[in-house]
Amino acid sequence: MTDTATPAGLEVLDVVEDSTACLRFVAVRNEARPDLELKSPADVTSDVARAPGEVIHLVDHADTLAARLLTVRDAANVGSTYLSVFTQGDPGEPLLGDLVELAMSRARALEVPDVRCSDIGDPGHLLALQSRHEFQEGTRWRRFELDVAMAPDEALLPPIVPGGLSTDTLLTRPDLSYAAFRTAHEGLLDAPGDFPRPEQSPETWLAALEESPVSDRGDVLILHDSRDVVFAVVQLELLASGSRHACLELLAVARQHRGRGMARLAKQLAGEHARQRGLLSVSALVHPDNEAMCATNISCGWTEGAPRRTVVRLAR
């Protein structure tokens, strides 16, 4: 960050190079939002290493607010500055205004069209951004969850997988990495929603997985046939390292095999893996236009909870 002054009420923390600063960010974030999964310093530094754009971590002088600004833009010029605010409710002014000012200046400097802020439920800062800072209501991502201990039969893979298909992971079948990447990449390109899709190669995908404290090759699940044709790929990611709660980071059916019920098997594979891994819950965010995925979540017995609301302000 070279061309923007930090507002007086906020401090930028170098969470990668300065371990004391990282500990401070983590402590303020975890204290402010105990309803979220507790993050460790390793989670925060790894998030920075894996982030596809500029990341700035901030706290206020009184240590009541932590915030994160992530600015990402892809080759098609789709992108945003994503503002995450960790506080109890509305942080008030001038703090919120200072954060918005900084987020807008990063969006302009890095030439992304808007600033976005999301959260689950209805925390005060989203309403405050709308009422005081000209943010407009954006996408409401539908959120589905599986309580693994209470999983109904339809949430789990049947003992014999239909269609003579087999299941593996990237740990048991590393030779399927390239085919799995192709399917995952097609899924990323085709998933509905106006989010950036940064360039990836099999190598960068695998390298990010190696460095991740929340997902590894054993969490990338593959549905394939006896000729090693990959039909679907699913990836689970823990909400924080050591957590027993996970999210579905990716679910993709290969283009030529869509429309034949594969999404259901992929979803059941995720449920089965979560059960065998001893997880307590798995959640999934789905764009409201993704009707096939919403229908699959419901037919597999995942329950719908509070959406992830997004508010947006143009950076012009």
Ligand X SMILES: CC(C)(COP(=O)(O)OP(=O)(O)OC[C@H]1O[C@@H](n2cnc3c(N)ncnc32)[C@H](O)[C@@H]1OP(=O)(O)O)[C@@H](O)C(=O)NCCC(=O)NCCS
Q: Residue 311: CB partners within 8 Å, gap ≥ 6? A: 116, 117, 118, 126, 129, 130, 135, 136, 137, 138
> What is the contact surface with ligand X in residues (CB under 6 A)?
187, 190-191, 251-253, 258-264, 286, 290-293, 295-296, 299
CB of 84 to ligand X, least distance (A): 20
Burial class (CB in 10 A: 0-12, 13-18, 19+), 98: buried
Least gap, CB of 233 to ligand X (angstroms): 9
* Complex with ligand X: residue 211 or 304, whichever CB lies closer: 304
Q: How far is the CB of 302 from ligand X (least distance, A)?
A: 12
Q: At its nearest, how many Å lie between ligand X and the CB of residue 175? A: 22
Measured from the CB atom, is 150 or 295 closer to ligand X? Answer: 295
- Nearest residue (CB) to ligand X, 98 versus 249: 249
234-244 burial code (b ≥16 CB/10 A, e <16) = bbbbbbbbebe
- Closer residue to ligand X in complex, CB, 100/294: 294
Q: What is the chain's length?
A: 316
CB of 252 to ligand X, least distance (A): 4
Sequence-ordered alpha helix ranges (H) in the chain: 19-32, 41-50, 95-109, 124-132, 177-190, 202-211, 262-276, 291-299
Which residues lie below 8 Å from residue 287, measured CB to CB, with a gap of 6+? Answer: 139, 141, 142, 191, 192, 193, 293
CB of 285 to ligand X, least distance (A): 7
For the chain, state the CA radius of gyration: 20
Closest to ligand X by CB, 1 vs 191, is 191
